[in-house]
Amino acid sequence: MRRYFNITGDCKPKLHYMVELTQRLEKIKAMVDSGEYFVINRARQFGKTTTLKALQRFLTDEYYVISLDFQYLTDEDFMDSKSFVIAFAQEILDSVNESIVIPDEQRKQLEEIADGKAVRMAVLFRIITKWCSTVTRPLVLMIDEVDSASDKRVFLDFLGLLRACYINRDINPTFQSVILAGVHDIRNLKQNIRPDSEHKHNSPWNIAAKFDIDMSFSVSDISGMLEEYETDNHTDMNIEEISQLIYDYTSGYPVLVTKICKYIDEEVKLWTKDGIVKAVGIILGETNPLFESLINKIEDYPNIKDNLYRILIKGEKMPYSPDNESVKSLMRYGFVKVQNNELVISNRIFETRLYNLLLTSDEMKNTPIFKAGYCDKPEFIKNGQLDMELILERFIIHFNDIYGNNPDKFIEDDGRKYFLLYLRPIINGVGNYYIEAQTRDHKRTDIIVDYLGQRYIIELKIWHGDEYNSRGEQQIADYLEYYHINKGYLLSFNFNKNKKIGLQTIEIGDKTIVEAIV
C-alpha cells in the first residue's frame, strides 16, 4: 500500500510518513497528569490538530478524552448562552464513542439538552461535574480551533465557568485537564471578545499553564521520517544531508517540511539538493492556506507590513520584547521567531515569499530598475546557469543611469532594495533567494541565490573606506569556505567622487571574489 507524507491540517490515509511525536506527547501528557489547563497556541498549520489527534490516542489508556472542534460550530451556536449550551452538548455526545464511559443519567441529560431543552450554562457544568465524579478514569477535554469563537461573548462566559470549576475541583470534580488549541492564547482571545474600553489583564482563565513545548521539527525528526521512507523506496538519498537542507529552508515549520517531501516524492522525483530547490520553487509559486493566512494578516494589520519592511528591506534589527504588541503580533501569526534575542523571519521560505510580496507591489514593479531587470533577463541565462558577473555589470549601468545623478536621495536602505528589485524578475519562477539572517543589517547583507542547482553568494555593502572594504572581502571569503564554494560576489555602493566604477576580480587564497563597485 502506498504511503503519503502527512500534510499538517489535511486529511490523509491512515498510512503515511510523519515525524515521530512520542517525545513531545510525553511532555504534554506530563502536563495532563499534573492537572494543568493550557492552550496550544501556534501559527497556522503548525501541527496543532495533528498533535491533538495523536495526543488523544496517546492518552486513551489512562483517560477518557472528549475531543471537540469548534470549527464545526456556526455563528448561530454562539448567538446566546442557550444556543451554545445546546451545540456544546451535541458536540460532547458526538465525541463519545465505545471507549468512553458515560453514565446513563448524564447521557440522558445531555441528549435532552442537545434536543433543545433550555438550560443555563451552569447546569451543563453540573452535569459534567456529576459525570466526572462517577467514572473510573479522569476526563480530559480538548477543543480545537478555539479561534472560531474568538469574537463571541458567550465563549468568555464559558471560559469563566471553566476557571471556576478548576479552582473548586477539590470540592466538585471536573475535567482532569482542559486543552485548547488555536492561534491565539487565552489573553489574546479575551482581547478579541471585549471592547477596547473593557480590556483587562486579568484573563477569565488566568490559571492557564504556560505551554512552551517545541512543536517544530528538528533535523533528527526529519531524518527519522526520511529513514522510514527510504526503507520503503530505496532512493539512495543522503538522509543526513537532505534532512539538514530541508531544515535549512523550513526551520522545522511542520507543514513546510512535509510539503517539500510530498512534492519531491510526487513531482520532482529527486532526493538531492537540486530536488529540494525545485520543491521549494513549487511551494513559493503556489497559493495555499498558509500563505493566504499570512497575506491576510498583512492586509488586516498595517503595522505588521511596516515591521516586515523594516526587517527585510531596511535591514533593521528588531529586539525581542515580550511586552511589545507589534512584536507579539509578528510572533503570534508565525512571521518571526526569536534568535539571539532579536526577531528574524521564521524560515527561508517565508522570507522569500514575503520579499516577493513586498517587491512585486504595483509601486515596486513600476520602478525603472525592476523594469530593467525584466527586460534584461533573457541575456543572463547561459547554458542553464546565471551569468552573475553580467548581472552585476548591467546593474551598475542601470543604477548609475537611473540614480547616479541624485546621490543625495540615496540612503543605505536603498542599495538592498534596488538590487533585489533588479534581481527579482531575473530569477522569477526558476530560482530562489534569501537573505542570510546573521548578516542582515544596515551595512552588510549576504544574499544567497539558488538557481538550477547552483548557489551564488552576493554580499552587499556600503563603502566605508579601504580598510573596512578589505575586511568585507575576507568576510565573504570565509563565508564561501563555509558553503564550500570557490567564487563569490561583492556589490559595493561607493559614493566617493574618486571611485572607479565597474568590476574587479580579487583572489583570496583559493577563493575568487568579483567585486562590483557602484
Please say if the pLDDT value at position 2 is more than 50: no
Average pLDDT over residues 34-56: 90
CB 404: neighbour CB atoms within 10 A? 14
CA distance 386 to 40: 45
Report pLDDT for 343: 92
Look at 227 and 198; give whichever has higher pLDDT: 227
Least confident range from 21-35, 430-444, 484-498: namely 430-444
pLDDT in tens, 76-109: 999 999 999 999 999 999 998 878 989 999 999 9
Look at 448 and 142; give whichever has higher pLDDT: 142
Report pLDDT for 206: 60
Strands 38-41 and 4-5: unpaired
β-partners of residue 505 are: 514
Cell numbers that stand for 160 in this block: 469563566
Please say if the pLDDT value at position 265 is more than 90: yes
CA distance 202 to 52: 27
Please say if the pLDDT value at position 185 is more than 70: no
The region, left, alpha or beta by phi > 0 then psi within -120 to 50, assigned to residue 315 is: left
CATH code, residues 20-198: 3.40.50.300
CA neighbor of 6 nearest in space, from 207, 229, 156: 229
Report the percentage of the chain scoring pLDDT > 90.
47
Cα distances from 343 to residues 216, 303, 309, 337, 413, in angstroms, run: 17, 15, 13, 6, 18
In eight-state DSSP terms, residue 265 is I
End-to-end CA distance of the chain: 59
Please say if the pLDDT value at position 466 is more than 80: no
pLDDT in tens, 316-329: 888 998 888 889 88
Burial level of 26, CB count in 10 A (0-12/13-18/19+)?
exposed
CA distance 429 to 278: 10
CA distance 101 to 391: 70
Is residue 283 within 8 Å of 256, Cβ to Cβ? yes
pLDDT in tens, 65-80: 999 999 899 989 999 9
In eight-state DSSP terms, residue 148 is G
Report pLDDT for 200: 44
DSSP letters, 258-309, are: HHHHHHIIIII---SHHHHHHHHHHHHHS--HHHHHHHHHHHH-HHHHHHHH
Burial level of 378, CB count in 10 A (0-12/13-18/19+)?
exposed
- Among all chains, which residue has been given the C-alpha cell 501559527? 43
Give domain limits for the chain: 20-198, 219-286, 360-517
Please say if the pLDDT value at position 202 is more than 50: no
pLDDT in tens, 112-131: 999 998 889 999 999 999 99
Please say if the pLDDT value at position 361 is more than 90: no
Please say if the pLDDT value at position 190 is more than 70: no
CA distance 10 to 358: 29
Please say if the pLDDT value at position 442 is more than 90: no
Is residue 215 within 8 Å of 179, Cβ to Cβ? no
DSSP letters, 60-87, are: TTT-EEEEEEGGG--GGGGSSHHHHHHH
In eight-state DSSP terms, residue 516 is E
pLDDT in tens, 146-157: 887 777 888 888
Q: How confident is the model at residue 275 (pLDDT cuts 50, 70, 90)?
A: very high
Is residue 139 within 8 Å of 131, Cβ to Cβ? yes
Report pLDDT for 128: 93
Please say if the pLDDT value at position 437 is more than 90: no
Least confident range from 112-116, 208-212, 252-256, 503-507: namely 208-212
Cell numbers that stand for 287 in this block: 497559493
Average pLDDT over residues 351-376: 87
Q: Three-state DSSP class for 278?
A: helix
CA distance 282 to 370: 23
Please say if the pLDDT value at position 470 is more than 80: no
Is residue 271 within 8 Å of 264, Cβ to Cβ? yes
CA distance 232 to 3: 9
For the chain, the average pLDDT equals: 85
Report pLDDT for 164: 85
pLDDT in tens, 203-233: 555 667 888 899 999 999 999 999 999 999 9
Report pLDDT for 445: 66
- How many residues appear in the chain? 518
Look at 201 and 3; give whichever has higher pLDDT: 3
Cell numbers that stand for 214 in this block: 517545541
CB 318: neighbour CB atoms within 10 A? 16
Strands 139-144 and 38-41: unpaired
Strands 342-345 and 336-339: antiparallel
CA distance 346 to 334: 7
Is residue 287 within 8 Å of 294, Cβ to Cβ? no
Whether the model clears a pTM of 0.75, i.e. scores above it, the answer is: yes
Please say if the pLDDT value at position 162 is more than 70: yes
CA distance 515 to 518: 10
Q: Containing H/E element for 17?
A: strand 16-17
CA distance 514 to 498: 20
CB 153: neighbour CB atoms within 10 A? 13
| Packed helices 273-285 and 239-250: angle between N→C axes, nearest 10 degrees | 30
